[in-house]
Amino acid sequence: MKRISWFLLPAILYALCGFAAGQSCPVTYTITNSWPGGFQVSLLITNTGTTAINGWTVEWTFPGNQQITQLWGGNVSAQGETVTVTSLSWDASIPVGGTMSSVGFTGTVTGANTAPTAFILNGVVCGSGGGGNPPSTPAGLTAAAGNGLVTLSWAASTGAISYNVGRSTSSAGPYTTVGTPTVTSFTDSTVTNGTTYFYVVNAANTAGASANSAPVSVTPSGSIPNVTVTINPASTQAISPWIYGINGITGGSIPNLPNVTITRLGGNRWTAYNWTTNASNAGSDFNYENDNFLSSSSIAGEAVRPTIASDIAAGQATLMTVQLQGLVAGDENGPVSISNPPDLTRFKTVVDKKSTVSSAPFTTTPLTTGPVFMDEFAWAMDQKFPGVGIFGGSTATPTFVDLDNEPELWNTTHLEVQGPTRITSANYIANTMTLTQALKDQFPQMTIFGPVHYGFLGIYNWQTELSATPTGANWFTDKYLEALSTASAAYGRPLVDVYDFHWYPEDYDSNGLRVTSMTGSTLTDAQMQLVVQAPRNLWDPTFTDPGNSNPWVNQVLGNTPIQILPRLQAKIASEFPSMKLSISEYEAGAFNNIAGTVAQADELGVFATEGLFAAMFWPPSGTFDYSLAGFRAYRNFDGANSNFGDILLQSTSSNPQNATVYASKDSTNPNRVVFVAINRSSASQIVAITGAQLSGSAHMYQITAATAQGQTPVTPVSLGQTAVSGSSLTLTLPAYSVTTIDVH
């Protein structure tokens, strides 16, 4: 004889006796996949989640009417013989929903006989046990059918711990279990439109299950939402007005400029800007040349003053750059040699605090032959706007200060002044402390942004200088914040107020084309998806962009989601809580395609949700009107200067890959709610917005590929208005669309 090895058959054996239409306990089952000859076998029943064989009492009737309990044996002579469950009960140690989930065989065979390969029991829970009484039968079962979904609800049953939902395509059954909720509702998403389904529900506790409810029938079709966005009106935060910003184009104007709130004067051109003469250096952007590109005026600071003046007139803020690298253009005489940089005959030295080298007072007409003083630069700009207090904390049109630009790259972008050796993180931080103290000695309320990183590796390890780890407190950010915390405590106020960096998505198509290089009006759907999903890198803890052909940022972070904003916010909260966040340069890509509008609008919503203090879009070369349209979903969407609210309402999407909604209230009108609904999908989405109390009319404005066609500028199109009330609103969002809903 050959000993048969023990094996387990994973089969779910817990179910509702009542769902087997026309049957009641006992139930007869047929042995399948069995063996051709006689076989002596013992069968062992076990239940999930336990190691002991206890709690279950099972009685069987086997061929020959042998009746045994718990362990049984019998002679099975042929495939197709049957076994009858006489009774099945369990005690209170078995949780509701506990299952007999595996069947084990031991036994012997003789001759050519082989062991069975399957013994199928379709699952029965019947009989009594566990003490107490089964719950009452659920009443009031109702069903609503829509697009690929059925939603069920019923009244609570006395004594119920859980419920069991059965489904059939026949009113006579049999009913198959499709859910075991612990609440009095259930959504069945495994249905087919046009098919009529019948549902019953019963209630269960440790004593057993109730009888089935009366059946209901439904036919899926129509418009039940496939995305639900839940608004939590109790969870709010202020939205900074400065997230709707843009970088200025020096020497030109931005066509079809939307209603932005802040302009930045920044970029490579400003690292070597000499405010006393308005000379600057192009760096690697153009021949490392000294010239008058920023301003041809001989009046000190005239490359800066006109922008501040126009921003004040428009009710906007300005972010101006001060020079931290140490050298600025000393002439306007063209290309500078980089054979042995820096050529000190072509540059002037920067001094942070004038009084450290000179007893002369500040002046708005400085000498152009000596050092260039940074505290005097700020003072002179303030003097040009008497009575405004541009660097103060109370003006509605403030001027903020950015500490230079992309310092980790100076050894390449500004080889002419930095030379080939990158500034160390320690030296950069020390220089930051010196300059910020000089500025705040003069203007204590000045808001200073730094370190103005070029991108992720600057944040992470100062362009590979530091040995950072994904979850460690050893990023450059940690080093910077900890140093600032110590120095600021000694100084008596924060020396840097806003942690500033640049963000250009590292998302590429299968040919290696980056989303920020997707400038054409026609893109493939795969390219459009890369563009519209890329903003999720900023925040989403579930998004790793698996289709990205070059996911190096994820790889650096241990193949985990980037979610750069929550990571930085956590470090700030731990190490220097007064710090705010800013992205002073960013692009989303697809500048001439509806995907660019969707991504830009999405990024503005992310900036509000993640609590950014400021953000400024970087206008690319060429045209980019579809990107600017993303601003119009929030700013002047109706052509009458209506804007997104200034108080964010927390919102959560059931499917952020396809659609999301950003929600706001207006501090000046408590009855007004404004939504920006975004469809990232290539198909229309039916979106239910729930949780926000609505009253009045919903005025709707939308941007789609179709509405944008032929528009200059691309602007939301009015869809009219509809009366709303209550706390829910359902919308059908076209593919790749941005919809603003102003409820008042």
In tens, the pLDDT along 258-294 reads: 999 999 999 999 999 999 999 999 999 999 999 999 9
Q: What token pair was written down for 726?
A: 């209550």
In a domain, 532, yes or no: no
Q: Quick one: tokens of 241?
A: 């007005």
**Whether residue 577 sits in one domain with residue 480:** yes
Residue-wise pLDDT for 345-357, tens only, equals: 999 999 999 999 9
CATH number, domain of 76, equals 2.60.120
Residues 53 and 175 both lie in one domain = no
- What is the crossing angle of helices 625-632 and 594-609, to 10°? 40
Bridge partners of 742, per DSSP, are 674, 699
Q: How confident is the model at residue 97 (pLDDT cuts 50, 70, 90)?
A: very low
The sign one gets for the Cα dihedral 568, 573, 576, 580 is: positive
Provide the domain count of the chain: 4
Q: Count CA atoms closer than 13 A to 11's CA, side-chain side.
A: 15
455 plus 329 within the same structural domain: yes
- Which of 161, 191, 224 marks a domain boundary? 224
Instruction: Kindly state the average pLDDT of the residues 688-696.
Output: 93
Would you state the pLDDT for residue 54? 36
**Which amino acid, 681?**
S
Q: Are residues 196 and 310 in the same domain?
A: no
Q: What does the buried/exposed string (b/e) look like for 238-267 if buried means 16 or more CB atoms within 10 Å of the residue's CB?
A: ebbbbbbbbbbeeeeebebebbbbbbbbbb
Among 139-143, 175-179, 394-398, 505-509, the least confident range: 175-179
Point out the least confidently predicted range of 60-74, 224-238, 640-654.
60-74
Same domain, 383 and 455: yes
Fill in the DSSP letter of residue 643: B
353 and 427 co-located in one domain: yes
Do 255 and 398 share a domain, yes or no? yes
One-letter identity of residue 248: G
Q: Is the pLDDT of residue 124 over 90?
A: no
Can you tell me the distance from the alpha carbon of 205 to that of 129, in angstroms, rounded to the nearest whole number?
Answer: 11
Alpha carbon 414 to chain centroid distance? 35
Which pLDDT score is estimated for 390?
97
Rg for the chain (alpha carbons), in Å? 35
For residue range 74-89, list pLDDT tens digits in order. 333 333 334 443 433 4
Tokens 């009417």, residue? 65
- pLDDT at site 411: 97
DSSP string, 314-375: TT-EEEEEE--SSEEE----EE---SSS--TTSEEEEES-GGGT--SPP-SS--SSS-EEHH
- In this predicted structure, what is the pLDDT of residue 67? 35
Do 431 and 558 share a domain, yes or no?
yes
Q: What is the pLDDT of residue 114?
A: 42
**8 A C-beta contact, residue 496 and residue 448:** yes
Residues of the chain with pLDDT > 90, as a percent, come to 69
Region 425-432 average pLDDT: 98
- Pick from 537, 566, 586: which residue ends a domain? 586
CATH number at residue 169: 2.60.40.10
The whole-number pLDDT of residue 88 equals 39
Confidence of residue 145 (pLDDT cuts 50, 70, 90): confident
Domain end position, chosen among 195, 224, 253: 224
**Are both 195 and 285 inside the same structural domain?**
no
The more confident residue out of 106 and 349 is 349
Residue 350 domain-assigned (yes or no): yes
- Give residue-wise pLDDT tens across range 21-62: 222 233 333 333 333 333 333 333 333 332 223 333 444 443
- Return the top range by mean pLDDT from 172-176, 314-318, 685-689: 314-318
Name residue 482's amino acid: E
pLDDT of 66 > 60? The answer is: no
- 445 and 338: one domain? yes
pLDDT beyond 70 at 458: yes
Q: What is the pLDDT of residue 35?
A: 35
* Mean per-residue pLDDT, 416-431: 98
Mean pLDDT across the chain: 84
CA pair distance 100, 543, nearest whole angstrom: 38
Residue 105 has pLDDT above 60, yes or no: no
Mean local confidence (pLDDT), 539-563: 90
Dihedral pair phi/psi, residue 737, rounded to 5° = -140, 160
| 206 within 8 A of 128, measured Cβ to Cβ | no
Helices and strands (H, E) in the chain, number of each type: 13, 38
Spatial CA neighbour of 678 closest among 525, 536, 520: 536
Co-location of 381 and 419 in the same domain: yes
Q: Is 70 within the bounds of a domain? A: yes
Query: pLDDT above 70 covers what percent of the chain?
Result: 81
pLDDT of the residue at 209: 83
Residue 248 lies in a domain: yes
* Per-residue model confidence (pLDDT) at position 25: 30
Residue 637 lies in a domain: no
Q: Are 129 and 21 in contact (CB under 8 A)?
A: no
The backbone torsions φ and ψ at residue 402, rounded to the nearest 5 degrees and listed phi first, read -105, 130
Per residue in 185-243, pLDDT tens?
887 878 887 889 999 999 988 777 888 999 999 988 766 678 999 999 999 999 999 99
CATH number, domain containing residue 677: 2.60.40.1180
Sheet holding 56-62: strands in order across? 27-30, 82-90, 56-62, 66-69
Does the residue 215 lie in any domain? yes
Least confident range from 18-22, 78-82, 110-114, 255-259: namely 18-22
Residue 207's pLDDT is 72
**Residue 658 predicted with pLDDT over 80:** yes
For 354, counting Cβ atoms within 10 Å of its Cβ (0-12 exposed, 13-18 middle, 19+ buried), the class is buried
Same domain? 464 vs 561: yes
| 50 inside domain | yes
Task: Tell me the whole-structure pTM to 2 decimals.
Answer: 0.73
Distance in angstroms (rounded) separating the CA atoms of residues 458 and 26: 71
- Owning domain of residue 393: 242-506+551-586
Q: What is the pLDDT of residue 91?
A: 39
Report pLDDT for 222: 64
Residue 629 domain-assigned?
Answer: no
